Amino acid sequence: MKLMILGATGLVGEYVLQQALLNPTISQIIVPVRKPLALDYEKLQVVEVDFEYLPEDDAFWQVDAVISALGSTMKKAGSKAAFRHVDYDYPLIFAKKAQQHGAKSFALNSAMGASANSPIFYSKVKGELEQALTDLNFESLTLVRPGIIAGERQESRPAEQWTLNILEKIKPILPKVLQPSPAQNIAKALLKSVVEAKPGVHIISASELAE
């Protein structure tokens, strides 16, 4: 199968890419990026594109499935509008274009508490994206809702790391739904969902991702 991975340079996306490269079911991996990515593997195609001006017809759209691990933070984005543009607009645009070219399956790294009705902006955007993707009627759609993501990031997130340290210390007494979600477990769930491509809409909760 041919797979497109969005956000392959992020924490979860890197694990998705690593696991996809080792999966014999996947014959080709398409990774759209905004900046050059120095990776060279036989079944990997890195496509440098302007996310604001995506080509209508290009061979890289012709995939069987898409995994989106795209995501930002309010601090990194700089504003609510910029955050929504990255976390809502980009994944949805890629989903629509890939579907138009034959993609049957889509898997999204969303967030615990995602709801279009949430009073929390972050959760509301995630929930609105989930709903928009559901409305596209992919043959198979998986929404993965992790808690706080555990893993070594390239950028510094002091507050998040502090929270992770606390959660790790009290992990034995925490219910699974409140435990950190290891990035590699999220990646595994995302990849498994598109490889199996079970019909319908599926939600994977944080409790299913905990170790």
Q: Which residues are catalytic?
A: 122, 126
Strands (E), 19-162: 28-33, 44-48, 65-68, 105-109, 140-144, 149-150
The answer to whether the beta carbons of residues 35 and 49 sit under 8 Å apart is no
Nearest to 199 by CA among 118, 105, 124, 130: 105
Which residues does 134 contact at the CB level (< 8 Å), separation at least 6? 141, 201
Q: Is 87 left (phi over 0), alpha (psi -120 to 50) or beta?
A: alpha
CA pair distance 107, 124, nearest whole angstrom? 18
Residue 33 CB-density burial (10 A; 0-12 exposed, 13-18 middle, 19+ buried)? middle
In which order are the strands placed within the sheet that holds 200-204?
A: 44-48, 28-33, 2-6, 65-68, 105-109, 140-144, 200-204
CA pair distance 177, 195, nearest whole angstrom? 25
